[in-house]
């Protein structure tokens, strides 16, 4: 791992360490072990967009025809049926998230039918949250109505940057006016929570342009804001080669953009949540952060406390008590497996006791910038001893320690918090064994 790069730690162990030894047979055993009345989350991955944004690192493909989407939806219904039968009615859905790709590419009636199938096959709790990632350029009145009909409680819109030069450089045209119209339409239909994603570190961005975008975002008064650093990984996503690397800001400029944007957001009255999220006081994410209940998964920071998350659709990742499992990425292979009545699992990883300990430490650092040694020992017993010894050594580093020890708590110093991914990586037991390349740590 390069000194200035690190995993994003939306899981531990991270996805590059998943392997094909975790197959459908293993996952069937994990599903069978789900306890009665378990609260679980569902994630639906729609692997299509009607345009390809060059900055994107998601598993998606561009299509201007709806036929591939309609075909995929038919197989998605089959996967829902297969997985629900294996769950056997034991669990209750507390959260549902539609991601992609662009879930809003799905036609209104098809979205209603998909939600009806999910409710028919799974039992939803009355207060279940339903969130959808939205591309404002997909939206019309019919789609807004459909999202209201499925009971959406939270909308997540990608902004990236409102500057036209930046948008052209990343192939993402999106006006402020169109974005505002969609948010107004959502709120008029009773959607109570809106999350907006902003990127820094994009080509041609400056501190001034990032702050200008953030100020426009703040004028929309979203309940949540995510401020992400652009992950330039052209070895992983070939279409990112369309971005002019010479126009990308350097590490110092990226940090300056991040700090400037975060300062503007905090001064507007938002609470800072973890590394890169912000929420209005009183929002459930802010409450979770204040009470130690903040979590981190493949959707980023969340107040979703479910231990089990089942991913549906190509490339989606599931989390069980026993480990992680990921569906096959290629849509054609996904459809073949699902069409045969099988789970689409391609790879994953089973958790060891050491994995669980390090995952807990890393999540607490990413969420709270600290962890309690006493709690680690209570949770994990003697297994915590070597990790606590590692933390103690980090607290003794000169001249600038990576951690500060105060009583039985280890805390990331304020100045190092923008680099918390690098601190968390010190507890990663897999990095030295792998050859995976990672994105910039800021």
Enter the pTM of the model: 0.92
User: What percent of the chain clears pLDDT 90, i.e. is strictly above it?
Assistant: 86
Q: Is the peptide bond before 75 cis (omega within 30 degrees of 0)?
A: no
Q: Can you give the C-alpha Rg of the chain in angstroms?
A: 21
Q: What value does the mean pLDDT take over residues 207-228? A: 97
Q: Which residue did the predictor score with more confidence, 54 or 274?
A: 274
Q: What value does the mean pLDDT take over residues 143-165? A: 96
Cβ–Cβ under 8 Å, residues 196 and 157: yes
Q: What value does the mean pLDDT take over residues 106-120? A: 98
What does the H/E/C string look like for the chain?
Answer: CCCCECCCCCCCCCHHHCECCCCHHHHHHHHHCCCCCCEEEEEEEECEECCCCCCCCCCCEECCCCHHHHHHHHHHHHHHHHHHHHHCCCCEEEEEEEEECCHHHCCHHHHHHHHHHHHHHCEEEEEEEEEEEECHHHCCHHHHHHHHHCCCCEEEEEEECCCHHHHHHHCCCCCHHHHHHHHHHHHHCCCCEEEEEEEECCCCCCHHHHHHHHHHHHHCCCCEEEEEECCCCCCCCHHHHHCCHHHCCCHHHHHHHHHHHHHHHHHCCCEEECCCEEECCCCHHHHHHHCCCCEEECCEEECCCCCEEEEECCCCEEEECCEEEEECCCHHHHHHHHHCCCCCEEEEEECCHHHHHHHHHHHHHHHHCEEEHHHHHHHHHHHHHHHHHHHHHHHCCCCCCCCEEECCEEECCHHHHHHHHHHHHCCCCCHHHCCCCCCECC
Domains and CATH numbers, the chain: 15-350 (3.80.30.20), 353-433 (1.10.10.920)
For residue 213, what pLDDT is reported?
97
pLDDT exceeds cutoff 70 at 37:
yes
For residue 3, what pLDDT is reported?
45
pLDDT exceeds cutoff 60 at 81:
yes
Task: State the pLDDT confidence band at 298, using cuts at 50, 70 and 90.
Answer: confident
Task: State the pLDDT confidence band at 441, using cuts at 50, 70 and 90.
Answer: low
pLDDT exceeds cutoff 80 at 5:
no
Least confident of 176-185, 238-247, 388-397: 238-247
pLDDT exceeds cutoff 90 at 430:
yes
Of 190, 184, 185, 181, the closest CA to residue 142 belongs to 185
pLDDT exceeds cutoff 60 at 172:
yes
* Tens digits of residue pLDDT in 311-351: 999 999 999 999 999 999 999 999 999 999 999 999 999 99
Least confident of 147-156, 214-223, 428-437: 428-437
For residue 2, what pLDDT is reported?
43
pLDDT exceeds cutoff 80 at 262:
yes
Distance in angstroms (rounded) separating the CA atoms of residues 426 and 239: 31
Please, what is the average pLDDT of the chain?
94
Task: State the pLDDT confidence band at 436, using cuts at 50, 70 and 90.
Answer: low
Q: What value does the mean pLDDT take over residues 415-424? A: 93
Least confident of 65-79, 84-98, 423-437: 423-437
* Tens digits of residue pLDDT in 269-288: 999 999 999 999 999 999 99
* Tens digits of residue pLDDT in 364-409: 999 999 999 999 999 999 999 999 999 999 999 999 999 999 999 9
CB atoms within 10 A of CB 313: 27
pLDDT exceeds cutoff 80 at 58:
no
Least confident of 160-174, 411-425, 427-441: 427-441
């Amino acid at each position: 791992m390069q000194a200035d790069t690190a995993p994003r730690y939306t899981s531990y162990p991270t996805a590059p360490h998943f392997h094909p030894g975790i197959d459908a047979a293993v996952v069937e055993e994990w599903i069978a072990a789900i306890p009665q009345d378990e609260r679980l989350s569902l994630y639906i991955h729609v692997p299509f967009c009607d345009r390809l944004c060059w900055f994107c690192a998601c598993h998606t493909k561009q299509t201007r025809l709806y036929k591939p989407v309609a075909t995929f939806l038919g197989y998605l219904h089959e996967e829902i049926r297969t997985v629900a039968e294996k769950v056997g009615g034991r669990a209750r859905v507390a959260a549902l998230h539609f991601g992609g790709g662009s879930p809003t590419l799905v036609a209104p009636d098809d979205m209603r039918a998909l939600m009806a199938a999910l409710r028919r096959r799974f039992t939803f709790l009355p207060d279940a949250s339903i969130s959808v990632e939205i591309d404002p350029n997909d939206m019309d009145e019919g789609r807004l109505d459909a999202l209201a009909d499925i009971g959406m409680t939270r909308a997540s819109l990608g902004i990236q940057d409102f500057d036209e030069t930046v948008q052209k450089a990343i192939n993402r045209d999106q006006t402020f006016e169109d974005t505002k119209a969609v948010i107004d339409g959502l709120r008029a239909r009773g959607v109570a929570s809106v999350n907006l994603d902003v990127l820094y570190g994009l080509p041609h961005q400056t501190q001034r342009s990032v702050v200008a975008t953030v100020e426009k975002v703040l004028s929309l008064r979203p309940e949540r804001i995510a401020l992400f650093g652009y992950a330039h990984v052209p070895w992983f996503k070939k279409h990112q080669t369309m971005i002019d690397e010479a126009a990308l800001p350097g590490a110092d400029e990226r940090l300056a953009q991040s700090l400037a944007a975060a300062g503007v957001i905090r001064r507007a009255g938002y609470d800072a949540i973890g590394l890169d999220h912000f929420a209005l006081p009183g929002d459930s994410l802010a409450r979770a952060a204040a009470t130690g209940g903040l979590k981190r998964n493949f959707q980023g920071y969340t107040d979703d406390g479910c231990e089990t998350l089942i991913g549906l659709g190509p490339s989606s990742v599931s989390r069980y008590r026993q480990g992680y499992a990921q569906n096959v990425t290629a849509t054609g292979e996904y459809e073949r497996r699902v069409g045969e009545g099988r789970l689409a699992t391609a790879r994953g990883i089973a958790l060891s006791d050491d994995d669980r300990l390090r995952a807990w430490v890393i999540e607490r650092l990413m969420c709270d910038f600290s962890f309690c040694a006493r709690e680690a020992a209570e949770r994990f017993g003697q297994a915590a001893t070597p990790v606590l010894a590692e933390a103690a050594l980090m607290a003794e580093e000169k001249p600038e320690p990576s951690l500060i020890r105060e009583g039985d708590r280890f805390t990331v110093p304020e100045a190092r918090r923008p680099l918390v991914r690098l601190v968390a990586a010190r507890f990663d037991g897999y990095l030295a064994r792998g050859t995976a390349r990672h994105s910039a740590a800021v």
